[in-house]
Amino acid sequence: MERKRIAIVGVGLIGGSLAIRLHEKKISSRLIGVDANKEHEQKALELELVDEVMSIDDAIAASDVVVLAIPVDKLVDLLPSIMDKINNQVVVDLGSTKSQLINAISNHPKRGRYVATHPMWGTEYSGPQAAMRGAYENKAVIICNPEESDADALEWVKYMYKKIGMHLLEMEAKAHDLHAAYVSHISHITSFALANTVLEKEKEEQAIFELASAGFESTVRLAKSNPAMWVPIFMQNKENVLDVLKEHIAQLNRFRESIEKEDNEYLLKLIGDANKIKRIIK
């Protein structure tokens, strides 16, 4: 498949890491960066993540493909106007929630040029300087409501993701948002809450630094994630997040009660039940 001129709107961790892969895998003939943060644009140029930076209107006009790698609240605001401006370009987003975004352009006359995706990859860091080589390799990407996209747009997006080493899953948007709440969004809330708990109770920062085990570090790693990215995700997926949070709080209460009552048998059962996750995640 011939190389494309690709505009990446949002040249931070997600967009910047994708830019590296697009260049490495010879998918792009030209990479155009767009970012509301001018320092990010300059950093992306310095790091050679993109070949040039442009305004969003100029980037759309100069590209064959428009990749949207910005927070989901900005996506909902921006996507309809981008769809208004394209001719036959492919538009693909990398957002972590899908239903609200898809609904925002469900009746747009150019709806078919848009492909809704969620690559299941990221780190706790942000900005162009956080962009990584080897990102996305052997990870899953969810393509939502593929039947609503034009065949050629869908074909190119699938080609891109396969070329950068991802395996593809297709899912209806509401189902995606539900599953994302269970396996991704709750992990971040738990990490944020645990970090706040420790910071509240342990006032000696040096003690946290010196005594933190590998287990603690891995559990709170996500607490370093960018709030500008995660607050909109929680708000857009509010119903599912609240549902899984209710169950999580109930599980925490079971642990609390078993310890309060010194119920060793029930505590063993709770931990034993949790160990069953080993069947799924090695």
* DSSP β-ladder status, 140-144 and 90-93: unpaired
Q: Residue 281 — very low, low, confident or very high, per pLDDT cuts 50/70/90?
A: confident
pLDDT score recorded for residue 209: 74
Tokens standing for 31? Answer: 């990479």
| Number of helices (H), then strands (E), in the chain | 13, 8
Q: Which CATH class is domain 176-279?
A: mainly alpha
pLDDT score recorded for residue 165: 97
Question: Domain extents for the chain?
Answer: 4-171, 176-279
Cα–Cα distances (Å) from 199 to 101, 192, 203, 257, 280, in that order, read: 35, 11, 6, 24, 32
Over the stretch 146-197, which tens digit does the pLDDT of each residue have?
999 999 999 999 999 999 999 999 999 999 999 999 999 999 999 999 999 9
Tokens standing for 113? Answer: 């040029």
Question: Over 90: is that where the pLDDT of 214 sits?
Answer: no
Tokens standing for 177? Answer: 């948002």
How many angstroms separate the CA atoms of 135 and 71, rounded? 19
Residues 6+ apart with CB under 8 A from 147: none
Cα–Cα distances (Å) from 17 to 36, 61, 78, in that order, read: 18, 23, 22
Render 102-167 in DSSP notation, one character per residue.
Answer: HHHTTT-TTGGGEEEEEE----S--SGGG--TTTTTT-EEEEESGGGS-HHHHHHHHHHHHHTT-E
* Mean pLDDT of all residues belonging to the chain: 95
- What single DSSP character describes residue 184? I
Burial of 37 (0-12, 13-18, 19+ CB in 10 A): middle
Positive or negative: CA dihedral 132, 134, 140, 144: positive
Q: Residues 128, 16: contact at Cβ < 8 Å?
A: yes
Q: Which CATH class is domain 4-171?
A: alpha beta
pTM of this structure: 0.91
Q: Residues 40, 15: contact at Cβ < 8 Å?
A: no
Share of the chain above pLDDT 70, in %: 100
Q: Residue 80 — very low, low, confident or very high, per pLDDT cuts 50/70/90?
A: very high
How many angstroms separate the CA atoms of 158 and 44, rounded? 26
Sequence length of the chain is 282
Longest dimension (CA), the chain: 67
